[in-house]
Amino acid sequence: MASSSSRKAWHCLLTLFLLSSGAYGQLSPSFYARSCPTLQLIVRATMIKAVLVERRMGASLLRLHFHDCFVQGCDGSILLDDVGSFVGEKTAPGNNNSVRGYEVIDQIKRNVELLCPGIVSCADIAALAARDGTVLLGGPTWAVPLGRRDSTTASMAEATTDLPPPSFDLTMLIQAFEKKQLCPRDLTALSGAHTIGFSQCANFRDHIYNGTNVDPASAALRKRTCPAQPPNGDMNLAPFDVQTQLVFDNAYYSNLVAKRGLLNSDQVLFNGGSQDALVRQYVANPALFASDFVTAMIKMGNIKPLTGTAGQIRRNCRVVNS
């Protein structure tokens, strides 16, 4: 058992070393330093406006980036609309009527195109928006490696199989993340994104009515707006973190220790398994969580990017260039 966990720890460290040594892809935070020097100012200004209109949008765009990267890599494929015979990923089970913020990405793209036409990919805009959404809700900042290009394809099949559903147990989650070269520590740190935002009743109904590792008072609160019988209330929202719903902090992990995780896939991180000790560390040490979250976000942002001459720079994030 110890040797298995040691191997996983070494895998985590090796991936981090490759990433930090520059051997992990061709992305660089300074990729647009000459071709579009005002890029990050444009993204930040547009994000500030969006978050002022609706604070939840910071969480929504963080999630959009995650759902992009887990399907075909971080290539902007999630942004493609179904057009004619082209089938995108927006109607996949994990995305349909769930992923949001496409209009904000569109607005950022329009603003960027005014100053830097044909230069910046939609995939990079999504990565920057995720970082800024985190920062604007009080979370850590990081230098986003850039230089991704946009896909000309999308995969409904991969979106259906590779986005982990809320029903997954810990073993399934670890396998889903390892498939993307993310280790269990990355899984637990990235799950901390659920310190902000909301989920729909359909995603947590089974957990609050049938789960065995649920605080009864927390379940009773959730049942008020999430009826037992589907499809009643399927799209009713509840916050992942009751205390600080739209503040990026480490309260998510305190909730797990108190058995107040909203989704089954949240609570399995603290249920007598391999991640319990790390969850307790994040409760005690917010700076450790912030540091691990940044490391994991950079690793996730490096999943199979298109670089060089692969893919394209879409003019409109919703459609492939004609």
DSSP annotation of 121: -
pLDDT tens-digit profile of 60-111?
999 999 999 999 999 999 999 999 999 999 999 999 999 999 999 999 999 9
Q: What is the CA radius of gyration of the chain?
A: 19
For residue 161, what pLDDT is reported? 97
Q: How far apart are CA 195 and CA 216, in angstroms?
A: 21
Count other C-beta atoms under 10 Å from residue 161's C-beta.
Answer: 15
pLDDT tens-digit profile of 26-46?
899 999 999 999 999 999 999
pLDDT band at 21, cuts 50/70/90?
Answer: very low
Q: Which residues are annotated as a binding site?
A: 68, 71, 73, 75, 77, 89, 164, 194-195, 241, 244, 249
Residue with tokens 């993310």: 182
Q: pTM (2 decimals)?
A: 0.93
Residue with tokens 């985590």: 12
Q: Which residues are annotated as a binding site for heme b?
A: 194
CATH H superfamily, domain 182-297: Peroxidase, domain 2 (1.10.420.10)
Q: Which of the listed CATH numbers 1.10.15.40, 3.40.1790.10, 1.10.10.10, 1.10.520.10 matches domain 38-162? A: 1.10.520.10
Q: Which residues are annotated as a binding site for substrate?
A: 164
Which among 320, 319, 315, 311 has a CA at the least distance from the CA of 148?
311
Q: CATH topology of 38-162 equal to that of 182-297? A: no
Q: Give the catalytic positions in this structure.
A: 67
Q: Is pLDDT above 70 for 8?
A: no
Strand (E) or helix (H) holding 94:
none
Domain boundaries, the chain: 38-162, 182-297
Q: How far apart are CA 226 and CA 263, in angstroms?
A: 13
Q: Are 67 and 297 in contact (CB under 8 A)?
A: no
Strand (E) or helix (H) holding 238:
strand 237-239
